[in-house]
Homo-oligomer: A and B are copies of this chain.
Amino acid sequence: MLDISASYTDLYQLTMAQVYFKTKPKSIAVFDYYFRHNPYGGGYTVFAGLENILEILENLHFTTDDITYLEKHNFEAEFLEYLRNFRFRGTITSVAEGDVVFPNRPILQVEGNIMEVQIIETVLLNILNFQTLIATKASRIRHSAGNKILIDMGLRRAHATGGYLAARAAAIGGVNSTSNVIAAEDFKLNASGTMAHSFIQSYKDELQAFRDFAKIRPKNCVLLVDTYNTLKSGLPNAITVAKEMEARGDRLLGVRLDSGDLAYLAKQTRKILDKSGLEYVKIVASNQLDEYVIKSLNEQKAPIDIYGVGTNLVTGKPDAALDGVYKLSEYNNDARIKLSENIIKVSLPSKKQVFRMLDDSGMFYGADVVGLASEENISQMLHPFDSNKSLNLQNFKQEALLQKVMQNGKRTIEEKTVAEIAKYTEARLALLPDEYKRFQNPHIYKIGLSANLKSERDRLVKEHKF
């Protein structure tokens, strides 16, 4: 489904590229991808979308239709010829997909011909910003849900075809399965699904609807019990059918609650099921769930086994977008900077490496240090703005986060399945202390600069001062 041509870009990338083509077609540029704020007011972010970007970039080209279209938009023949042969041949270093990342330090760096790295900006931001937003949301929902099962049910409210990659990102963040068939098929996710209210309404009689379903789909059978009245109709009918299934040697997997007070109904439902000897029947809950509602349900000890999460998961509600940006940091081996009135928004120049500090026990210490790409084992980290603050790094193990993933337009790392990435996310989140994971005023994961990088940045700031 990710049938993306090179015209999946902003027009200004092409107008700029044409100027580069005429004035400096051999120039080499380095761009950084990073974001400015953790989404949801949280203390961390889960990076997702890298595998898709590598696949897209390896195949990116303008179609004949694209060129025909661009011919009508004031592009010159020679430049159109360049576009006809356009391929991305750049080199990328990146944090591993699924890793835990933080604001204002590079997640990914692209180096290559300036036209190529400019043209891919839009698709790169589009794919990484969105999946990172959703993987992070999913990880927060997972944090609330503990070891309960989570199902993505969001496709109908997703942002059109964005729902496809939403299902992928949700899996990376810790969601166990999806209702989205095409996403499950393409990304090897677990698929799950039961029945809608319309199924029951198509029968005169709820009991008959349950009976037909349980006979024909006995495996993983979950009955939706709130069409008419959960406790007076749906649940008694489900129990009748569960007993009939037992007589046939089958087992009802669960009942689903999709409206009303889920804590109250789950407790009543559990009690009634247990009294009927149906301790094995699970309770599935859905209806506008997010990390806060699930946290509250767990705190109320609602005996829910499986949560179905939809709109809030696949749209990243209440955040509309991750504020990821793509900034020039080097041009023909010359460091570059983007100024701002606000020092926090000043970009970091040059090719860089990000080092994560690990403490004695192997946990994240709570600081990433950004140095020049040529540096190793940084001995001291400096506060980005406050010259009185620094930290000695001699006692930390340092992990270099940016690794080469693509060279000259060809991927240099092996493909990873979504399941493998999700496993990695789980492992990395386990290394992040809990105070960064809480929803209210999470602890701030620090950023530091190496002395070399800081003096380079400060030099460029002075150079551009007005």
Residues of A within 8 A of B (CB): 1-5, 7-16, 18-20, 22-24, 27, 29, 31, 65-66, 69-70, 73-74, 114, 118, 121-122, 125-127, 129-131, 153, 155-166, 179-182, 184-185, 191-199, 201-202, 212-213, 216-217, 219-220, 227-229, 232-233, 259-260, 311-312, 315-318, 320-324, 326-328, 331, 336-341, 464, 466
Q: Return 23 A-B CB contacts under 8 Å, by A number.
A: A1-B4, A1-B8, A3-B3, A10-B155, A10-B181, A12-B179, A12-B196, A13-B193, A15-B217, A27-B202, A29-B202, A69-B184, A122-B156, A126-B155, A129-B157, A157-B322, A158-B321, A159-B321, A160-B166, A162-B163, A198-B327, A260-B341, A317-B320
Q: Which B residues lie within 8 Å of A70 (CB)?
A: 181
Q: Which B residues lie within 8 Å of A340 (CB)?
A: 259
Minimum C-beta distance from A254 to chain B (A)? 13
Select A159's contact among B12, B130, B466, beta carbons within 8 Å. Answer: B130
Select A158's contact among B159, B195, B328, beta carbons within 8 Å. Answer: B159
A336–B156 CB distance below 8 A: no
A331–B158 CB distance below 8 A: no
Minimum C-beta distance from A63 to chain B (A)? 9
Q: Which B residues lie within 8 Å of A161 (CB)?
A: 1-2, 4, 126, 160-162, 164-165
Q: Which residue of B has the minimal Cβ distance to A16? A: B199
- A166–B158 alpha-carbon span in the complex (Å): 12
User: A158-B159, A201-B338 known; A73 and B191 CB under 8 Å?
Assistant: yes
B157–A165 CB distance below 8 A: no
Q: List 9 A-B pairs, minimum CB-CB distance, nearest first.
A: A11-B193, A162-B162, A12-B193, A159-B162, A159-B159, A315-B320, A317-B320, A125-B156, A157-B321
B157–A125 CB distance below 8 A: yes
A181–B7 CB distance below 8 A: yes
- A464–B180 alpha-carbon span in the complex (Å): 33
User: A3-B3, A181-B10, A181-B11 known; A159 and B212 CB under 8 Å?
Assistant: no
Q: Which residue of B has the minimal Cβ distance to A70? A: B181
Minimum C-beta distance from A16 to chain B (A)? 5
Q: Which B residues lie within 8 Å of A158 (CB)?
A: 126, 130, 159, 162, 321
Q: Which B residues lie within 8 Å of A180 (CB)?
A: 10-11
- A438–B24 alpha-carbon span in the complex (Å): 51
Q: Which B residues lie within 8 Å of A66 (CB)?
A: 181-182, 185
User: A160-B162, A182-B5 known; A320 and B321 CB under 8 Å?
Assistant: no
Q: Which B residues lie within 8 Å of A192 (CB)?
A: 11
A-B contact sample (6 more), CB < 8 A, given A130-B160, A227-B338: A11-B193, A12-B193, A16-B213, A121-B196, A157-B322, A228-B464
A22–B216 CB distance below 8 A: yes
Q: Which B residues lie within 8 Å of A466 (CB)?
A: 228-229, 232-233
A74–B321 CB distance below 8 A: no
User: A16-B196, A19-B199, A19-B216 known; A339 and B228 CB under 8 Å?
Assistant: yes
A121–B1 CB distance below 8 A: no
Q: Which B residues lie within 8 Å of A327 (CB)?
A: 197-198
Minimum C-beta distance from A50 to chain B (A)? 14
Select A315's contact among B24, B125, B321, B328, beta carbons within 8 Å. Answer: B321
- A192–B5 alpha-carbon span in the complex (Å): 18
- A229–B165 alpha-carbon span in the complex (Å): 39
Q: Which B residues lie within 8 Å of A164 (CB)?
A: 8, 160-161
Q: Which B residues lie within 8 Å of A212 (CB)?
A: 19, 22-23
Select A320's contact among B311, B322, B328, beta carbons within 8 Å. Answer: B311
Q: Which B residues lie within 8 Å of A15 (CB)?
A: 193-195, 217
Minimum C-beta distance from A103 to chain B (A)? 16
Select A10's contact among B130, B179, B336, beta carbons within 8 Å. Answer: B179
A227–B122 CB distance below 8 A: no
Q: Which residue of B has the minimal Cβ distance to A199? A: B16
Q: Which B residues lie within 8 Å of A5 (CB)?
A: 182
B10–A153 CB distance below 8 A: yes
Most buried by B among A4, A24, A160, A321: A160
- A339–B233 alpha-carbon span in the complex (Å): 13
A217–B19 CB distance below 8 A: yes
